[in-house]
Structures are given as C-alpha cells and as structure tokens.
Structure 1
C-alpha cells in the first residue's frame, strides 16, 4: 500500500501553506468575505483543480502516447455547491476542450474515456459524493 504525506502549516490569519510529497508548495487561503486576504487557492476550488489536473494528466499522457496533434487543451470544471452546512459539491461537470487544425476526434474521445472510466482516481473519489457529467468539445483552428 502507498501512503502520501502532506504537511499543511498555518502562516497566520487565514492562510496555510501545504507541501506535497515532492516538496512543492501551494498556498491555501479563505476568501476576503471569510477573513482571508485573497492569496492562494480556496480549499473547495483546489478540489476542482485536483479533479481537472488528475484527468488532464491522464489525457495529456495519452495524447503523447497516441502522437496526436493538439494545439490547445483545457478543462472547464463547473460544480454545484449545496446550500446547507457542511457545504459540498453534489454535482460536477467536466468539459474537455481540444483545439487544433488536425484533431483526431475519436482518439481524443478515447483518451478522455480512458481517464474518466479507468485511470483518474480523483474522479472516482468525486463519484462517492457527487454526480459527474463529462462533455468533450472539439474546436477547429
């Protein structure tokens, strides 16, 4: 079994610094409406970034392995936050956007499908508490 260790240190007021196993750091801060200073990511937004990053890394790896031509690739993540405390995301939409002049749409869709059905562990965690919708868009440039 693999374990991960993340150290999160209070930096004062409403700011924390979190260090991942490779030593990289990220700032976490509350919004100004909650006493923060607006620096760093909010914890829930970081969850959405983790979701997109996990699946995005899968897809980027498959783009390279399949030797596909993609000029630009981005993931828009939209989530519904519940009204009652504790507030959490109960529905999430992942929108994969590929741009290029020579897009192989079937292969790119296969890369997305492999990520969301087999490889992305963060997406599997999200499925435990939220409905997840995935859409793929191809933009010719």
Structure 2
C-alpha cells in the first residue's frame, strides 16, 4: 500500500486514499492548524476501531448472529513526554439485541483481536491492547 499526503496550507494535509477517498488532516489552531480536518491520531484510532469492528461484523454474519446494534469505543492512555505514543488502548464492544449468544460474540472479538485485525496487531508490543464485551438487552 502506498499513500501520499500533500501539505496545502499551514498544517493541513490532503490525500486521496488507495480506495479513492479524499481525506483532510489538520492540526488544532493552538499549534498553527485551522481545524479543517481530524487529527492524525484520531484517524489512527478510527482505523483500529474500524478494522476490528468490520472484522467482528463479518464474523458474526458468517455465524448467523443477528444483533440490532454494534458500537466500538476506544479509550486510550499516552506517554507524558514526546513521542506521546499510546501506552494503553482499551476497546469496548457494545452489542444490542435480545438473547445474543455471548460465546459467539466472544469468539468473534477474540478472532478479530488475535488473528484478523492488522491495525490492532500493528500496535501490540508498543501499547497494551485490551478489550471487553458489553451486551445491552433491548
């Protein structure tokens, strides 16, 4: 995969992803940006959440598990000094539905985290990645 970003003005960078989507990244006004797009680390976390969320949804579809809603929330901790790398990433999977088979939910999440999610695998060893499953009955 190859991605190129172009600095347009100030701290703003624009890119077209290999899949053809335009993305703008910018910094906050406090550091010279104009807040015209998300921060790089926000996109980084979105990548992890999206990667594992898609994995889980695909696995549950194959398992024929019918849920009403799936949300993925990431909570992080970072180093105090530069580079302010993530030290902990905790992923919460929220499932909503009736009589959801917890063993299948656990299996889908475990497969994503231990086998399929390239984004999570990229940070393991640098940051502690943990997860939990929360089931909300309708």
Determine the structure 2 residue equivalent to 1:136. Answer: 133
Alignment of 1:48-67 (within 5 A): 48-67=45-64
Out of 85, 88, 112, the position equivalent to 1:88 is 85
RMSD: 1.1
| Structure 2: segments with no counterpart, 5+ residues | none
User: How many pairs are equivalent?
Assistant: 138
Gaps of 5+ in 1: none
- For 1:53 and 1:39, how far apart are their aligned partners in 2? 22
Distance in structure 2 (CA, Å) of the matches to 1:123 and 1:102: 29
2:16: which partner in 1? 19
8 Å contact from structure 1 (residues 5, 21) kept in 2? yes
Partner of 2:3: 6
Which aligned segments of 4 or more residues in structure 1 are displaced greater than 6 angstroms?
none
Q: Indicate how the Cα distance of structure 1 residues 66 and 13 shifts in structure 2: closer, same or farther if over 3 A, else same.
A: same
Rounded Cα–Cα distance in structure 2 between residues aligned with 1:14 and 1:138? 41
Contact 1:70 / 1:102 at 8 angstroms: preserved in 2? no
Give the TM-score normalised by structure 1.
0.92
